Amino acid sequence: MSQAHIQHKFIGDAIRCIPLWLCIPFFLLPFSTIYTLKVTAQEGPIIGVLHSGKRPEALAVDTQTHMLYIAHESPGTLVAFDPISGKVRWQATLGATATDVQVDSNRHRVYATAIASGNRPSNLLILDGATGHILATLPVGSGDNSIAVDSKRLRVYVATPDTATLTTFSLNEDATLRGQPLQQHIGLRPTAVGVNSRLGRLYVADSKANTIRVFDEDSGRDLATIAVGAYPLPPLRVDEDSGRLYVVCSTAQELNVIDGYSNKIIAHPPSAPYPEGVAFHTATGHIYVANEGDEEGNNTDHTIGNIVTVIDKQSFEVLGTLQVGSAPNGVEADPALHRVYIALEDSNAVVELIDSPDLPLNTDTISQTVLAQHTLIFLRQAIFVTLALMIVTIVVATLSKISS
């Protein structure tokens, strides 16, 4: 008998030793993609639709004046909308592409970042919230910047993922610089920043390392690194009353809730596909997560979302979903007015919702999503275990034949 024939015989005998049950996951593999998320049309509590420009993205609310600030991605404009009068108060041109907006409700100042035209760097712009007058224009690293504002310490932090830098601006009361900006390299891809001024904590999300790093604002000391779901995105929402941090993890398709005192994740409720915005400060205790969908094509599921996921703030139970329109992105809330605002990037609109405990939610959508996620995870684990067992079985059977 030839050596080749002997080897083939050994392999054939080894394969026949494999238990039949180990092959079951391979029969299930063709069916592992049959679970898809489908959202049915439904009536929502939309009380207004604002068309203020193209591709609205980031939103911010002054909780004292109730002014809503809308950053439009392209062209880079900032619009101030008064929901009480129903009128646009002013519009300012920021640059070629606006990337983020935050507001200091105590001083009624608005902070926005925008990429300048051509190859020029991005800028941090400080505006008067009432008039739209630009008080300062400060250069930052070019890219898709995000902002965090500490109104207590009069500091503004700008993260630039493309250059892996964090720029810190210390300001005077008149919005002028106090000293020189501090720019430092941080992490692999700092995508978002958040601040808890009460605790003096700075949070930096890294979308490449999938972590949240926690720093002491006063000493600059690195306090903790928290592993979170895949691809954390801005905005990082901080609840200074409870100390909690809310992080949307787009690829993981979940919201991570972090206790700012223990620096540990206390909940990770699931979301509909590819969330990109979150608002928690609501009168009803609801958390609203905007599910834009995989618009950028970064994942295998090339979908466009049209819903928001609604979560209970106390139990973190997913209450259901609400259909709002194409590619919901930025979300912001005004608890005093019982309003929630959602930017619909592809629809060039911002919808205004009543924040009500009686929302007409679709409760089937999320259960289907969770079932699909759990099923796919189980199948992947079963296939991995099966492959490992097959390899071990073949090796053991082959060695047994050789030794005999």
Q: In this structure, is residue 175 part of a structural domain?
A: no
67, HSE (Cβ side, Cα atoms, 13 Å) = 25
Residue 101 binned pLDDT confidence (cut-offs 50, 70, 90):
very high
Residue 35 pLDDT exceeds 80: no
Decide if 19 is inside a domain: yes
Looking at residue 384, its pLDDT comes to 60
313 contacts: CB under 8 Å, gap ≥ 6: 280, 282, 285, 286, 287
Inform me whether the pLDDT recorded for 299 exceeds 70.
Answer: no
In a domain, 92, yes or no: no
Share of the chain above pLDDT 90, in %: 66
Structure tokens at 260: 């700012």
Question: Does a structural domain hold residue 183?
Answer: no
* The predicted structure's pLDDT at residue 392: 76
**Closest residue by Cα to residue 224 from 258, 185, 256:** 258
Q: How many domains does the chain have?
A: 1
State yes or no: pLDDT of 290 exceeds 70.
yes
Q: Which of 279, 290, 289 is nearest to 346 (CA)?
A: 290
Instruction: Residue 211: count other Cβ atoms within 10 Å of its Cβ.
Output: 18
**Structure tokens given for 264:** 């540990």
Q: Using alpha carbons, select from 138, 207, 205 the residue that is nearest to residue 170.
A: 138
pLDDT tens-place string over residues 307-321: 999 999 999 999 999
Query: Residue 128 forms beta bridges with which residues?
Result: 109
Domain contains 383 = yes
Q: Is residue 345 part of a domain?
A: no
pTM of the model: 0.79
Mean pLDDT computed over 362-391: 60
Cα separation of the two ends of the chain? 17
The answer to whether the CB of 52 falls within 8 A of the CB of 79 is: yes
More confident position, 10 or 188 = 188
Structure confidence by residue, pLDDT tens digits, 222-238 = 999 999 999 999 999 99
Asked if residue 29 belongs to a domain, the reply is: yes
Digit-coded pLDDT (tens) for 167-211: 999 999 999 999 999 999 999 999 999 999 999 999 999 999 999
Q: Is residue 395 part of a domain?
A: yes
pLDDT band at 45 (very low <50, low <70, confident <90, very high): confident
Q: 389 lies in which domain range?
A: 3-36+375-403
